[in-house]
């Protein structure tokens, strides 16, 4: 791991400090295969923040129209482009394009170990950030992103939302049923590792192995919506769906 130059950790939660302290020993890189000589560089933003329902983590859901990874939950991110200050600049640019995250609102804390993804032939650098100044959560291009969600950490660590998922290839890995999404594969493995390093993991039934397509994520109730919000509009919703026409849906009032 390498921390961002002159990074400030004031106001950063204790669980994130634990993650940063343990980041050099994260086991995920040891489980990945050796990269190919033609692997392309990419980065993802792992963005923590303080939301209406407490600490949360930002996810996007890929559009069903994509040729690869269609409909899959993921961290915002993508391939490096000319002019990017890789990997931080790549991660922040992609987060802005996909989820409306303003780069100046994010305090970058560290970059994690580079990880190779054989299916997409990419070397991915996870960038850890703290959302100092949460603003709009928006859907960018609806042909690429179906939804953006800030998922409370309490949902991710809830044993009722955790299980292992068997892929048709035979691979079995961690999975999460949260925010009306099924998080699996590379993203779930990264989340699992991060929660463990941050000291947040609670015991869960690892004998619960489900077949892909059979698991059903529970219906998600937006924080601050419906009858669960006695304060009315005081808590901003934390999921953005694409607008049928016009600009992306705004879900957090601008400051």
- Residue-wise pLDDT for 60-89, tens only, equals 998 755 444 446 899 999 999 999 999 999
Buried b (16+ CB within 10 A) or exposed e, 183-194: bbbbbbbbbbbb
Token code pair at residue 229: 């919000």
Residue 250's pLDDT band, with cuts at 50, 70 and 90, is very low
pLDDT at 103: 95
Contact indicator for 22, 113 with CB cutoff of 8 Å: no
Q: Quick check: 1 pLDDT over 80?
A: no
Q: Quick check: 227 pLDDT over 70?
A: no
Residue 154 phi, psi (nearest 5): -60, -35
- Name every residue whose Cβ is closer than 8 Å to that of residue 227 and which is 6 or more positions away in sequence: none
E strand or H helix at 181 = strand 181-183
Q: Quick check: 249 pLDDT over 50?
A: no
% of the chain beyond a pLDDT of 70:
78
Q: Considering only CA atoms, which of 130, 123, 114, 94 is closest in space to residue 20?
A: 130
Mean pLDDT within 226-236: 31
Mean pLDDT within 163-178: 93
Mean pLDDT within 225-239: 35
E strand or H helix at 3 = strand 2-3
Domain ranges of the chain: 7-223
pLDDT at 6: 62
- CATH architecture for residues 7-223: Alpha-Beta Complex (3.90)
Q: Considering only CA atoms, which of 217, 248, 255, 221 is closest in space to residue 237?
A: 221
pLDDT tens-digit profile of 175-189?
Answer: 999 999 999 999 999
Q: Quick check: 190 pLDDT over 90?
A: yes
- pTM: predicted TM-score of the whole model, two decimal places: 0.82
Length of the chain: 255
pLDDT tens-digit profile of 30-57?
Answer: 778 888 999 999 999 999 999 989 999 9
pLDDT at 12: 95
pLDDT at 169: 84
DSSP result, 76-117: SEEE--TT--TTHHHHHHHHHHHH---GGGEEEEEE---EEE
Token code pair at residue 66: 């994509």
pLDDT at 9: 86
Q: Quick check: 5 pLDDT over 80?
A: no
DSSP result, 141-159: -TTTEEEEEEEEHHHHH-G
Q: Quick check: 225 pLDDT over 90?
A: no
pLDDT tens-digit profile of 107-152?
Answer: 999 999 999 988 889 999 999 999 999 987 888 878 889 999 999 9
């Amino acid at each position: 791991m390498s921390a961002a130059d002159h990074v400030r950790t004031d106001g950063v939660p204790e669980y994130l400090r634990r993650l940063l302290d343990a980041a050099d020993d994260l086991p995920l890189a040891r489980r990945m295969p050796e990269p190919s000589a033609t692997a392309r560089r990419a980065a993802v933003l792992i963005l923590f923040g303080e939301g209406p329902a407490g600490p949360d983590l930002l996810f996007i859901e890929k559009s069903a129209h994509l040729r690869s990874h269609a409909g899959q939950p993921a961290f915002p991110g993508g391939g490096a482009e000319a002019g990017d200050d890789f990997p931080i600049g790549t991660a922040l640019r992609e987060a802005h394009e996909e989820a409306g995250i303003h780069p100046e609102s994010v305090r970058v804390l560290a970059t994690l170990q580079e990880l190779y993804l054989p299916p997409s032939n990419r070397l991915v650098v996870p960038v850890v950030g703290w959302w100092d100044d949460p603003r709009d959560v928006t859907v960018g291009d609806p042909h690429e992103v179906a939804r953006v969600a800030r998922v409370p950490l309490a949902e991710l660590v809830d044993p009722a939302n955790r299980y292992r998922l068997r892929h048709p290839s035979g691979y079995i890995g961690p999975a999460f049923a949260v925010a009306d999404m099924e998080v699996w594969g590379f993203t779930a493995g990264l989340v699992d590792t991060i929660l463990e390093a941050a000291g947040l993991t609670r015991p869960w039934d690892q004998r619960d192995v489900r077949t892909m397509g059979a698991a059903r994520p529970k219906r998600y109730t937006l924080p601050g919506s419906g009858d669960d919000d006695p304060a009315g509009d005081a808590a901003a919703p934390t999921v953005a769906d694409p607008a049928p026409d016009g600009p992306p849906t705004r879900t957090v009032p601008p400051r």
